[in-house]
Structure 1
Amino acid sequence: MKRLPLAAILAAFFIFLILEVSVRQSVLLLVGVGMGAALAGARFGFTTGWRQLIEQRNPQGVTGQVLLLALASLAALPLLGQFSELHAALGPPSVSLLVGAFVFGLTMQIADGCGSGTLYKAGLGVPLNMGILPLFALGSFLGSVHLDSWLALGQMAPISLTDQLGTSGALGLTLALLAAVLVATRLWVGADQTWFDKRWMVGAVALAVLATINLLLAGQPWGVVYGFGLWAAKGAVALGLFDPAGNGFWGQAGNAQRLTQTVLMDVTTITNIGILGGALWVSAKAPADSKPLTTQQWVIGLVAGFVMGYSSRLAFGCNIGAMLSGISTGSLHGWIWVPMAFAGTLIGVRVRRHYQF
């Protein structure tokens, strides 16, 4: 799509949100557009960064992700300590988290994109990610439907580092752990590597700023997965295929209310739409390259996308909701998610290589 008609569509949608929904939602749309432009313009891929580290011993992507996490934490933790109306992205340490994060890390490599990666690559017009998007939503919905059964296997109450250590202690521990990640990366890649790339650095700074604005406007950290699941849940309810009243997840007051409202009231939905719009804007000038896939590759990729959606709900988020937002707002579950997802990625890159994606 050319940029002029796209700008007209985004402007019309922005005005519609102001008139029919709320000013907050219209501004969050712009935040989402910025996120999509930053992700697509910088090709800031969480999946790609991990794969490059494993296969090429290239630390640039991980360096960019650590910078993003550090900047987001420096902003979010003091804000959460100052304003009680802001909420952290807390998830319970659980069997569900362990399994979900591991499977997510594995499948995101096969699908070549996490939650945000699937969104922005779909916006860039990558065929596989466009096909994965609805399957990710369906998987996320089914994961939410089954979440109570997974949690029954064992869980603890969510643990906030801020509650345990105070704002300064939580921030200090977070930065120390991020430094430890860089040390571990240095041991893996060796001395003769280029650590910094302008594209990754610019993307990290832009996303940290936008994630902070999202926290202030939405009252909650940036997320992706919930919006996907909500879309599928509303479709299932509308078709008479699902009764949310008897479900542990969708029967909760807040979730049940969102099922009765327009999806445009959901902050995650709005930023997800914005990410697609921002990526489309970038694609008008810099379309993504994608090689043709065989039938086998299509089937494997689409199945991986569905399982990735399912596991993202079990893990209480993806690289955005669990890793970025969890860690930057002091949730212990974010630090559990990372090593489990990375362990899954170690297998995922080998599966991806086997099927020659």
Structure 2
Amino acid sequence: MKRTSLTLLMLVFAGWLLWSVSARQAALFAVGIGLGAVLAGQRFGFTTGWRILVEDKNPAGVMGQLLLLALAALLAMPLLGYFPELTAALGPPSVSLLVGAFVFGLSMQIADGCGSGTLYKAGMGIPMNAAILPLFALGSFLGSWHLGWWLDLGRAPAVGLVGEWGWQAALAATLAALAATALAVAWYCRRASRARGQAAHPLVVRRWLVGALLLALLATLNLVIAGQPWGVVYGFGLWAAKLVQAGGVDFAHNWFWSQPGNAPRLQEAVLQDVTSITNIGILAGALWVSAARPAKARALNGQQWAVALTAGLLLGYSSRLAFGCNVGAMLSGISTGSLHGWIWVPLAFAGTMVGLRVRRHFGF
């Protein structure tokens, strides 16, 4: 489909949202289109950034992500401080967080995409990610169904640094931690390159730099318009929950779906959910980019398909246990001052180290 036709369809849908749903949902759809276009256009992959750091000692992707976190925190934390009606992406430190983050980091390397990566690559028409998307949704729902049991294994109260310290101290601490991480990554990559007898990779690459700037701005718009940080996983789980509910399953006694913030979502139309409408926008934005720059997809054998689809199911399940993916837990968590985001990252990175071994074993 040509870009002109896609643009017209997106404008018509946005107008219908404005007329039939709300101005907020129409605006969030536009934000989602921007997110999808940036992710696909700049190939800003969280999974890829981690992979090239480990395998190629190339810091550019992770440096871009650290810049994104810093810019998003610079924009989000003062807003949270001055406007208490805005919410942070908080998650409780828990057994479920530890297990979920590790399994997610492992699975995303096999599936070649985190939550946002799966979404924008599916929008670009990459067959593996398009096939993984419904399994991701199913896994997210199953994780939400079991979350109460996982939390009973042990949890502590969620900690929001903005609420505990004030936005100025929370921002200073966050920027200092991100700067320390950037220095450590730069040192590691230079040392590894010298040991290999190779020239060091550049720390900053334009596409990662541009992607970080645009994503930070769009994530902040999402926070202001939706009243909550950018997320991906919740929408997936809701889509599957709606289908299960339509099959006659009673959600009244489920721990997750009986929560005051979740129960109303089951009664509302999907297009009224802020995460769902942004996800739909990401799919549309990525499709718009692919109309001019079609994505290349490698062929997979039967074994690789089975492994990838299993990883997709685990992606969904583990992301719900971990209270988010690279977007909901890492980007939105850290940039809005949630302690759980800082716990998520090292566990997910440890999982990535294992996932890369599995990926190589099956020849992805």
TM over 0.5: yes
**Alpha-carbon distance in 2 for matches of 1:239, 1:12:** 32
Q: Residues 4-43 of structure 1: matches in 2 within 5 Å?
A: 4-43=4-43
Residue aligning to 1:197 = 205
TM-score by length of 1: 0.99
**Alpha-carbon distance in 1 for matches of 2:341, 2:275:** 19
Q: Residues 174-253 of structure 1: matches in 2 within 5 Å?
A: 174-190=174-190, 192-240=200-248, 242-253=249-260
Q: CA deviation at 1:163?
A: 2.2
**Alpha-carbon distance in 2 for matches of 1:334, 1:194:** 27
1:61-119 alpha-carbon deviations (Å, 9 max, x no partner):
00100010000000000000000110000000000000000000000000000000000
1:69 pairs with 2:69: yes
Q: Residues 252-331 of structure 1: matches in 2 within 5 Å?
A: 252-331=259-338
Q: Residues 26-105 of structure 1: matches in 2 within 5 Å?
A: 26-105=26-105
Instruction: Work out the percentage of aligned pairs sharing the same amino acid.
Output: 65
Q: Secondary structure at the match of 1:253?
A: coil
Query: Which runs of no fewer than 5 residues in structure 1 stay unpaired?
Result: none
Q: CA deviation at 1:193?
A: 2.5
Q: CA deviation at 1:238?
A: 0.5
Q: Secondary structure at the match of 1:356?
A: coil
Structure 1 runs (4+) greater than 3 angstroms displaced: none
Residue aligning to 1:2 = 2
**Alpha-carbon distance in 2 for matches of 1:137, 1:23:** 27
Contact 2:231 2:324 in 1 (8 A): yes
Residue aligning to 2:352 = 345
Q: Secondary structure at the match of 1:61?
A: helix
Contact 2:186 2:203 in 1 (8 A): no
Cα RMSD (Å): 0.7
Aligned-partner residue type, residue 324 of structure 1:
L
1:309-350 alpha-carbon deviations (Å, 9 max, x no partner):
000000000000000000000000000000000000000011
Q: CA deviation at 1:183?
A: 1.8
Residue aligning to 1:111 = 111
Q: Residues 113-192 of structure 1: matches in 2 within 5 Å?
A: 113-190=113-190, 192=200
Q: How many residues align?
A: 356
Q: CA deviation at 1:254?
A: 2.3
Q: Secondary structure at the match of 1:254?
A: coil
Aligned-partner residue type, residue 228 of structure 1:
F
Q: Choose which of 331, 336, 357 in structure 1 pairs with 2:343.
A: 336
